[in-house]
């Protein structure tokens, strides 16, 4: 399945058989059409999609193995450099750890060889619930050794057996249960988005793992409650490590980091961009809107 910040999908059905050249061509061409007609990058990174697709076409279409084909198309789409843009199988497999189990991994050197180390493990996510913590080393997944550069990926809705070396040196087999996501178009497991902790009488810690929701009203209210829980602290640490992004609920967090009310951006649609615009004539936002919008800063 093809997913991003929009409602797009392809007709790639669940299969374990090799794809024919005709099937690969149909999928590839549909991805190209979707990007050309639906994708909108408000950051205007200036990626020449037509040239990218043309240069990679023959190489990608030569991949008869479905998993290799999936990875190559995903790499191509990743060149757009926009968050929440990707190409995934309809069976929701090969989902990266940050989206599937709410954990990020970092390459580290261990006795002269590379290993994956868990870096951010978000509360409320499958990895945290299974007992995995930052600093643990990943040794195996499903009985197979996993080392960089091979990524750790999952099939959502299933369980995964991981062999972990904890910080204290103990080696433990951990079973991680992956829930089914609420949306098949966005196969992302949602952790506890906002959590707080008082580090001392004066210092408060606010962690935000993601900004879920296209509008972000719910997470905005969670941020309000988190700030209220830290009332009395004179200093605040905001932890956004491993944040997977999401909707525009991040505006609420930004509002706490400014001394007064500021206009936060302008609404710009794809059609308006294509026919031209003057920023001064665009709708201005000073709050979280009540409907989905694209903002430019």
How many domains does the chain contain in total? Answer: 3
Mean pLDDT of all residues in the chain? 84
Which residues, including other chains, have CB under 8 Å from residue 296's CB and lie 6 or more apart? 42, 43, 265, 266, 268, 279, 282
Residues comprising the chain, all counted: 297
Q: d(Cα 143, Cα 138) in Å, to the nearest integer? A: 12
274 domain residue, yes or no: yes
What are φ and ψ of residue 144, in 5° steps?
A: -115, 135
- The verdict on 28 and 65 lying in the same domain is yes
pLDDT at 273: 79
For residue 107, the tally of other CB atoms under 10 A from its CB is 12
- The verdict on 79 and 130 lying in the same domain is no
0.85 exceeded by pTM: no
119 domain residue, yes or no: yes
pLDDT at 183: 66
pLDDT at 293: 47
Q: CATH number for the domain including 123?
A: 2.30.42.10
| 3 state SS of 140 | strand
- The verdict on 40 and 63 lying in the same domain is yes
266 domain residue, yes or no: yes
Q: d(Cα 207, Cα 241) in Å, to the nearest integer? A: 8
What residues are paired with 103 via a beta bridge?
121
pLDDT at 291: 55
182 domain residue, yes or no: no
What residues are paired with 296 via a beta bridge?
266
Q: d(Cα 260, Cα 6) in Å, to the nearest integer? A: 32
Numbers of helices and strands, H then E, in the chain: 8, 16
Where is the domain boundary, 54, 87, 120?
87
pLDDT at 42: 63
Q: d(Cα 161, Cα 75) in Å, to the nearest integer? A: 27
pLDDT at 44: 57
pLDDT at 99: 85
- The verdict on 120 and 173 lying in the same domain is yes
- The verdict on 218 and 288 lying in the same domain is yes
Most distant CA pair in the chain, distance: 65
53 domain residue, yes or no: yes
Do 155 and 89 form a contact (C-beta atoms < 8 A)?
no
- The verdict on 207 and 288 lying in the same domain is yes
- The verdict on 82 and 104 lying in the same domain is no
Residue spans of the chain under pLDDT 70: 1-17, 42-46, 83-84, 90-92, 183-187, 262, 264, 286-297
189 domain residue, yes or no: no
pLDDT at 231: 94
On the CB side of 28, how many CA atoms lie within 13 Å of its CA?
Answer: 29
150 domain residue, yes or no: yes
- The verdict on 136 and 199 lying in the same domain is no
- The verdict on 220 and 255 lying in the same domain is yes
187 domain residue, yes or no: no
pLDDT at 71: 86
The residue range of the domain holding 26 is 2-87
Q: Could you tell me which of 167, 184, 94, 78 has the C-alpha nearest to residue 131? A: 167
Written as six digits, the tokens of 88 are: 């995934």
Rg (CA), the chain: 21
What are 148-189's pLDDT values in tens digits?
Answer: 998 888 887 889 999 999 999 999 999 999 888 776 666 678
The label of the residue with tokens 């902790």 reads: 197
């Amino acid at each position: 399945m093809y997913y991003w910040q929009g409602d797009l999908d392809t007709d790639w059905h669940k299969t374990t058989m090799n794809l024919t050249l005709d099937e690969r061509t149909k999928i590839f061409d549909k991805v190209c059409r979707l990007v050309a007609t639906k994708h909108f990058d408000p950051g205007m990174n200036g990626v020449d999609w037509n040239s990218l697709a043309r240069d990679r076409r023959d190489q990608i279409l030569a991949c008869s193995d479905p998993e290799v084909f999936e990875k190559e198309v995903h790499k191509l789409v990743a060149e757009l450099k926009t968050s929440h843009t990707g190409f995934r199988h309809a069976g929701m497999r090969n989902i990266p750890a940050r989206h599937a189990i709410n954990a990020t991994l970092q390459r580290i050197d261990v006795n002269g060889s590379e290993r994956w180390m868990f870096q951010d493990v978000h509360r409320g996510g499958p990895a945290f619930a299974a007992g995995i913590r930052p600093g643990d080393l990943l040794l195996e997944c499903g009985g197979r050794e996993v080392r960089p550069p091979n990524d750790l990926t999952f099939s959502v809705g299933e369980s995964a057996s991981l062999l972990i070396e904890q910080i204290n040196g103990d080696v433990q087999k951990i079973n991680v249960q992956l829930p089914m996501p609420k949306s098949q178009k966005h196969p992302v497991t949602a952790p506890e988005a906002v959590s707080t902790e008082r580090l001392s009488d004066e210092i408060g810690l606010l962690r935000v793992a993601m900004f879920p929701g296209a509008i972000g009203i719910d997470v905005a209210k969670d941020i309000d409650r988190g700030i209220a829980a830290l009332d009395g602290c004179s200093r605040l640490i905001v932890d956004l490590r491993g944040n997977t992004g999401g909707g525009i609920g991040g505006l609420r967090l930004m509002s706490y980091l400014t001394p007064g009310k500021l206009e936060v951006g302008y609404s710009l649609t794809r059609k308006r961009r294509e026919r031209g615009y003057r920023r001064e004539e665009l709708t201005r936002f000073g709050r979280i809107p009540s409907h989905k919008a694209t903002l430019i800063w």
